[in-house]
Structures are given as C-alpha cells and as structure tokens.
Amino acid sequence: MFLIANLEMAAAELKQQLEEYLAQGRLEEAIALSHQLPQTIPNLARFCLERGDLLLEKGEFEEAIAYYEKALKLEPDLPGVYEQLGDAFRKKSLVTKQESLKFYRQSVEFNPYHLNLYHQALEIQPYNYEMLTKLARNLVKFSKLEEAVIFYQLALITAPEEGEIHLEIAKILLSLGFMEGTISECKLALETKENDSEVYLILGKALSQRGKFKEAEEALNRGLEIEPLSCLGYNYLGEMLAKKGEVEEAIALFNKAIELYPDVDLSYKNLGDALAKQGKIEEASDAYRRAIELGFK
C-alpha cells in the first residue's frame, strides 16, 4: 500500500513537471518526461488537447490556445484540435470585443462630444444601436446633419420599427428642406407613435411647405389636440394660414403662442412677418426687434 502511494506521488510530481515544461515551451523535455508516465499520459498531444479543453471551459483563452498549438505541433493530424483552436480564438475575440466596447461606453460617458470614440466603438460592433444613435445626436449638435441621417438610418437596420428614429430623421430632413422625405419619415414614425404631437406638427409643417394645406391643417390640428399648449403647434398652424392668405387668423395664433410662451423668438418673428404683410411696418419692426433680442438669427 505504501509503495502504491509513493508511486502515485511520484507520478503526480512528474505530471506537474510535465505541465511546467509545456507551459515553458520545452517540448523536447516534455516528450522525454512523458515516456516515464506511459499509463498516466499515453499520448502527450492528447494530454495537451485535454488540458486546453479544461482551460477553455474556465475561460482562460490565451492558455487554452497555447496548449492547442502545442498539441498541433506534436501531432498535426490530432482529431478535434483544429475545431477547438478555432473555438478558443472565437471566444477570445468575443470577450475582447465586449471588453473593448464596455470601455468605449465608459469613455463616451466622460467625453460625449468626442466623435472618434463612437467611430472606434462602431469598428468593433458596426450595428450597435446605442452607439449609432448617440453618434447621430452629437452629429446634429455639431450641425453635421447629412452624416447624422446616415447613422440614424444604420440604427434602423437594428430597430426598423423604432418610431423615435424616424422622427429624428424627419426633423433633420425638414431643416434641410427635403419635404417629401420628411413626410415619408413622419408617416413611418406614426406607425408606432400615433399619439405623438411632435410627429403631427413636423408632418403638418412639411405638408404646408408642399402646398398641401388641407392635409397640413388636419395634421397640425391633430398635433394641437394632443398637446394644446404647444408653442410650435400655434406657430406652424399660423405659418400655414398666413401662406393661405388668412393673415388675421395667423396673427391671432402667433399672439396666442406669445401669451403662452413670451420668451420664444420664433413667435415674434412670425408675428412680424404677418404684420408686415398687412403693411403694419412699425408694429412688425417691434416684433422683429423682440425676436432678435431673444436670439433669432
């Protein structure tokens, strides 16, 4: 019994020495040592493969890869080793990407306007919805509107029914003067945002610009029905009525907007335009002056 125990201890020590040789890349010495353990380790390449499997299961990818490569060097035709090696590289790559993306997320929290950080994160995961939408929003802040549309459209590949993205694209297209595109995006947004006042207001504005006054009025009134205190709603509806020649009604709406929100420059600018149409130059000048004081350019 004592003899068996001593033999087992000796075998364990030899096996530990074998692992050290393998870890150090001393293959010739490992092979020589393995011959002293014919029953415990009948095949050194197989031992490396099995050792790699254990390390892979533990998530120690670098070490697993090293053992698989040693198994290949010892026995290039060893069954299963290529598959396991490929699996180890794939899992290592996924973990590396996830870790990198985590750090980029943290970076943009501290540096939200550092646009290169978003691009670097998207190199790792090109269709990451969070990064695409954050980048698009920041591009808008930097007045890079065409680029912002591209990244919003990429986000829609991941979330094609996301109404908020369609609305953001619609607002950009409206500011760029692309009315048909604005109308299309608003209609797509309404598929999931049927009770969103802003969508109806943007749609109404674009329809008005295209001279589709009946449809525009319906959309704008629907927007105001949902949000009765919308300053933008009164301004857009007033602009449309002024285009139709209903200037007195438009003035009433601009004054309503000013009554609700006395510090909004757009309302005074629109009021000035309407008063100028009526030939009330002094009153129009006062309205324009107030708009400029509030920051209208």
131 lies in some domain:
no
142 lies in some domain:
no
Say if residue 33's pLDDT is above 80.
no
Band of residue 7 on the pLDDT scale cut at 50, 70, 90: very low
155 lies in some domain:
no
pLDDT digits (tens, 9 = 90+) for 179-198: 999 999 999 999 999 999 99
- Listing DSSP states for 239-266 in one string gives HHHHHHT-HHHHHHHHHHHHHH-TT-HH
Band of residue 5 on the pLDDT scale cut at 50, 70, 90: very low
Band of residue 45 on the pLDDT scale cut at 50, 70, 90: confident
Q: To the nearest whole number, what is the mean pLDDT of the chain?
A: 87
Report residue 25 as tokens: 């890349």
233 lies in some domain:
yes
Band of residue 52 on the pLDDT scale cut at 50, 70, 90: confident
Please give the tally of structural domains in the chain.
Answer: 1
279 lies in some domain:
yes
245 lies in some domain:
yes
Write the burial class of residue 93 (CB in 10 Å: 0-12 exposed, 13-18 middle, 19+ buried).
exposed
pLDDT digits (tens, 9 = 90+) for 108-149: 888 888 898 888 888 888 889 999 999 999 999 999 999 999
At 61 the pLDDT is 86
50 to each of 71, 78, 221, 286, how far by Cα in Å?
9, 12, 72, 86
Answer yes or no: pTM beyond 0.85: no
Question: What CATH number does the domain containing 277 carry?
Answer: 1.25.40.10
Say if residue 42's pLDDT is above 80.
no
Cα separation, 169 vs 187, in Å, equals 12
In terms of residue numbers, what domain contains 276? 229-297
128 lies in some domain:
no
Comparing 95-99, 267-271, 275-279, the range with the smallest average pLDDT is: 95-99
Cα separation, 12 vs 58, in Å, equals 22
Cα separation, 11 vs 21, in Å, equals 15
107 to each of 82, 110, 124, 135, 233, how far by Cα in Å?
37, 5, 15, 13, 38
5 lies in some domain:
no
Give the whole-number percent of the chain exceeding pLDDT 90: 57
Look at 43 and 169; give whichever has higher pLDDT: 169
